[in-house]
Amino acid sequence: MITIKTKKELEKMNKCGKIVALILKELEQKVKPGVTTAELDQWAEKLIEKFHVRPAFKGYKGYRHCLCTSINEEVVHGIPSPKRKLQEGDIIGLDFGVIYEGYYGDSAITVPVGEVSVNKQRLIDVTRNSLLKGIGKIKKNGSLSDVSSCIQAYVEKMGYSVVREFVGHGIGQSLHEDPPVPNYGEPGMGPTLEIGMVLAIEPMVNEGSPEVKILKDGWTAVTVDGSTSAHFEHTVAITEEGPKVFTSL
């Protein structure tokens, strides 16, 4: 069942999204060679306390951290570790969410560590653009699958592939609500977008083949071919005026 949020609920979710965006911005500025992914997670936890919100991921299906940190060929759900130091030339996905007054916000960015190759920077740029282009397809009474197919078409035109095993999701009083939001598919297939729906749209884009596998830690998804992957996510509402991105400043 796809929940429709009231104006009041949308206001809370917007506030929630703004807090997510502020914290992600601060975390982005901490990304430097030599920093460990555990240190980034600790920063996330400090900022959660500062803003008087709760972590969306900690405790979710036994996940023990506030942040997911996915480096290079890691697609999503990388686990912060004191042993994992960022290196110049890496790219890192930071996936983060909070709960504010009972409502969830969820967002992800991929950022370069120091100077990165032209190829890695292009992968980041294409993935970010695919999300923005997808969001641009949102309109009331439009079809969600138009968003999905737009993302896939753009990514593939740019020579990359979209991950199928993980998809975006509705979001509200739960982190994951209906509907699933795939980053692939045919246009015009629905479900119909209605005012008051809120979606977490999150393309995961691989430089090589779309296949992913889960490491023995039970969480970290990596590309099967070892190619680099990038991920961006926004929490977006469907409003009378069109899409409203909650997780941007």
Other C-beta atoms closer than 10 Å to the C-beta of 160 total 23
C-beta separation of 179 from 167 below 8 A: no
Taking the C-alpha atoms of residue 45 and residue 153, their distance in angstroms, rounded to an integer, is: 37
Smallest gap from Cβ 112 to Co ion, in A, equals 22
Of the candidates 138, 140, 165, 170, which has an alpha carbon nearest to the alpha carbon of residue 151?
138
Q: Are strands 221-223 and 212-214 parallel, antiparallel or unpaired?
A: antiparallel
C-beta separation of 60 from 79 below 8 A: no
Which residues between 109 and 128 bind Co ion (CB under 5 A)? none
Q: Which is nearer to ligand MF3, 8 or 61 (CB)?
A: 61
Output DSSP code: residue 140: T
Selection from ligand MF3, Co ion, none that 77 binds (CB < 5 to 8 A by kind) is: ligand MF3
Which residues between 47 and 106 bind Co ion (CB under 5 A)? 106
Smallest gap from Cβ 177 to ligand MF3, in A, equals 11
Helices 118-136 and 144-157: crossing angle in degrees, nearest 10, is 160
Smallest gap from Cβ 137 to ligand MF3, in A, equals 20
- Give the x-and-dash track for 68-97 against ligand MF3 (CB under 6 A): x--------x-----------------x-x
Query: Which part of the chain contacts ligand MF3 (CB under 6 A), choosing from 14-22, 58-66, 86-94, 182-190?
Result: 58-66
Residues that bind ligand MF3 (CB under 6 A): 57, 60-61, 63, 68, 77, 95, 97, 106, 200
